[in-house]
Amino acid sequence: MLAKRIQPMTSQARRLYVELMFQVMGRALQAVSEVDREVREEAQALPKGFLFEMMVMPDGAKLIVEHIGEGRFHYHGNSAPRPADVSIKFKHVTHAFLVLSFQEKTSVAFANDRMLVDGDVSYAVRMTRVLNRLESFILPRIIAKRAVKEYPENLHLPEKLISAAQIYLKIATHFVQTARA
């Protein structure tokens, strides 16, 4: 009986967590592209106006970012101005939760068929590297190791702390600006 009552609450909590994490990650993608040169170099290969989407199938939470040129991303929230060029689609909110709560690495989620790639796979590979770089910055090393295939050896604590602080500050600023708007 109790389990039956808790089930919908757990499900709702997961959904809210995934929505919140998408909002954080979208803003963080924009921020990291402003902070980190390596991410900009990676993103520069994407066409200007390129739209990247992560979403939960069939019509769940989503995040959309656009490459606005020079390797910089702009976070569009959950609505795209046009169809996305590359979309990474989680088959179920539970799968998104596993990845976004760092219980399953992004690469393992791909290997486990938890998500589909719609669009040019080479761009999806590039965006995965950007996401890995972002996670390596903003997560404590012990958690980042659970999220990425390999924690970058050349990412040392001072650089990590400074970049993470900048990224979190930008995320917070963006949240405030959105709330005011």
Partner 1 sequence: MTNTYYEFFCPVKVIAGKAALEHIPYELTGLAAKRPMIVTDKGVRAAGLLDPVIAACEESGLDIVSIYDDVPPDSSTGVVRAIAAIYRNEKCDSIIAVGGGSAIDTGKAVNILVSEGGEDIAKYTGAGVLKRALKPFFVVPTTAGTGSEVTSIAVITDEAKGVKLPFTSSFLLPNAAIIDPRMTLTLPPHVTAATAMDAMTHAIESFTCMAKNPLSDAYATAAVKKVSQSLLQVMDNPKDSLGRLELAQASTMAGIAFSNSMVGLVHSLGHATGAICHLPHGLCMSLYLPYVLEFNLETIREPLGELLLYLEGPEVYAATPASRRAEASISALRILRDALYKRCKLPRTLKETGKVTEDQLDQIAGMAINDGSIMFNPKEVSLKDARAVLQRAWA
Query: Residues interacting with partner 1, by CB under 8 A?
Result: 107-108, 110-114, 116-119, 121-126, 128, 148-150
Shortest Cβ 120–partner 1 spacing (Å): 9
Q: Rounded distance, CA 11 to CA 52, Å?
A: 26
With respect to partner 1, which residue has the nearer C-beta, 28 or 127?
A: 127
The strand pair at 86-90 and 51-56 is best described as: parallel
Compute the residue count for the chain.
Answer: 181
Nearer to partner 1, 125 or 165 (CB): 125
Report the distance separating Cα 44 and Cα 40, nearest Å: 6
CB of 125 to partner 1, least distance (A): 5
**Radius of gyration of the chain from Cα atoms?**
16
For residues 167 and 137, give the distance between their C-alpha atoms in angstroms, rounded to a whole number: 9
In the bound state with partner 1, the residue whose beta carbon lies nearer, of 125 and 169, is: 125
114: left (phi over 0), alpha (psi -120 to 50) or beta: alpha
Q: Please report how close the Cβ of residue 4 comes to partner 1 at its closest, in angstroms.
A: 26
Q: What is the per-residue DSSP string for 94-131? A: HHHHHHHTTSS-HHHHHHTT-EEEES-HHHHHHHHHHH
User: Rounded to the nearest whole angstrom, what is the least distance from the CB of residue 116 to partner 1 in the complex?
Assistant: 6
Which residues, other chains included, contact 144 with Cβ-Cβ below 8 Å and sequence gap of 6+?
135, 136, 151
Closest CB to partner 1 among residues 68, 117: 117
CB of 110 to partner 1, least distance (A): 5
For partner 1, which is the closer residue by CB, 78 or 107? Answer: 107
